[in-house]
Amino acid sequence: MADLSVKIAGVELKNPVMTASGTFGSGMEYSDFVDLSRLGAVVTKGVANVPWPGNPTPRVAEIRSGMMNAIGLQNPGIDVFCKRDIPFLQNYDTRIIVNVCGRTTEDYCEVAERLAEEPVDMLEINISCPNVKCGGISFGQDPKAVEQITAEIKKHAKQPVIMKLSPNVTDITEIARAAEAGGADALSMINTLTGMKIDINRRTFAIANKTGGVSGPAVHPIAVRMVYQTAQAVKIPIIGMGGVASAEDALELILAGASAVAVGTANFHDPMVTLKVIDGIKEYMERFHVGTVKELIGAVH
């Protein structure tokens, strides 16, 4: 029997497949299609200390091999989230990872504190959203700011802290080392890459925000490269994401150094894709007589 379990920052996941923040809600919309108890973890949409309205529409567009979005982290705020989403997720035998967004360091810390007594397994801190004016990526592109905000959040968080990194930087390893130095328990990467699409018929931007974050198969090779580089640079575990739509894509990230993977954009065209990725990893392990998925993590040098 192939052992798919992995451990991240002391938290055991039954398999290395989770959902990518913002592409799966808190699983409510998907629970008719996917038994959430089969997932390694559900990673929720970003939640802030207060409700955020998000950006003006249109805020999503299709591109060749993926999509662009500038949702702007619309969310109902931590009060509604704690009342509505956490009790829902507790009905399932899966790990709960809450993605946290904020405009200031205090915003992030407030959410971390609110979640300290909740039945949540890990926090994923989004310092990498390209679609909000303050907070988000403005933290994630400066190594000093990354170290400081990580250290500050660590003071308030009870659960292990995963820092989610932006690919919109010159050297991802510098940012990854800064997060590690600040005390991050794990890293996740990559968030979306800033892009632009022009609607030639309307002669305007396809997205009201002008720019949007590119995700889906188009970004997968970039994610593999960044996970590989980061795995050589830090000791903490990495959760890899970016264009995963099949077990093969997930295995590439794992072999490059990811301890687990998240599936994002692919959920929109195949709500059951996460289960196919899990089954595909298991089949691969059986075919190649791999006893535990841990043998595959970072196996390619």
Ligand X SMILES: Cc1cc2nc3c(=O)[nH]c(=O)nc-3n(C[C@H](O)[C@H](O)[C@H](O)COP(=O)(O)O)c2cc1C
- Which residue ranges make up the site for ligand X (CB under 6 A)? 20-23, 45-46, 67, 69, 71, 73, 99, 126, 164, 191-192, 215-216, 219, 241-244, 263-265
The sign one gets for the Cα dihedral 61, 62, 63, 66 is positive
Contact 36, 94 (CB under 8 A): yes
- Closest CB to ligand X among 193 and 297? 193
DSSP 272: T
Distance (Å, rounded) from C-alpha 281 to C-alpha 207? 36
Residue tagged active-site, from 82, 109, 129, 134: 129
CB of 245 to ligand X, least distance (A): 8
Q: What is the largest CA-CA distance in the chain?
A: 57
CB of 16 to ligand X, least distance (A): 15
Residue 301, SS3 per DSSP: coil
Q: Is 101 a catalytic residue?
A: no
Contact 165, 187 (CB under 8 A): yes
The amino acid present at 189, given as its one-letter code, is M
- Closest CB to ligand X among 245 and 296? 245
- Closest CB to ligand X among 13 and 163? 163
- Closest CB to ligand X among 226 and 297? 226
Cβ-in-10-Å burial (0-12, 13-18, 19+) of 241 comes to buried
Contact 33, 23 (CB under 8 A): no
- Closest CB to ligand X among 119 and 221? 221
CB of 291 to ligand X, least distance (A): 28
Contact 16, 254 (CB under 8 A): yes
CB of 36 to ligand X, least distance (A): 17
Of 162, 50, 156, 179, residue with least CA distance to 109: 156
Strand order from edge to edge, sheet including 66-69: 60-63, 66-69, 211-215, 193-196
The pair phi, psi for residue 4, each rounded to 5°, is -95, 0
CB of 259 to ligand X, least distance (A): 16
The residue whose Cβ lies closest to ligand X is: 22
Active site residues: 129
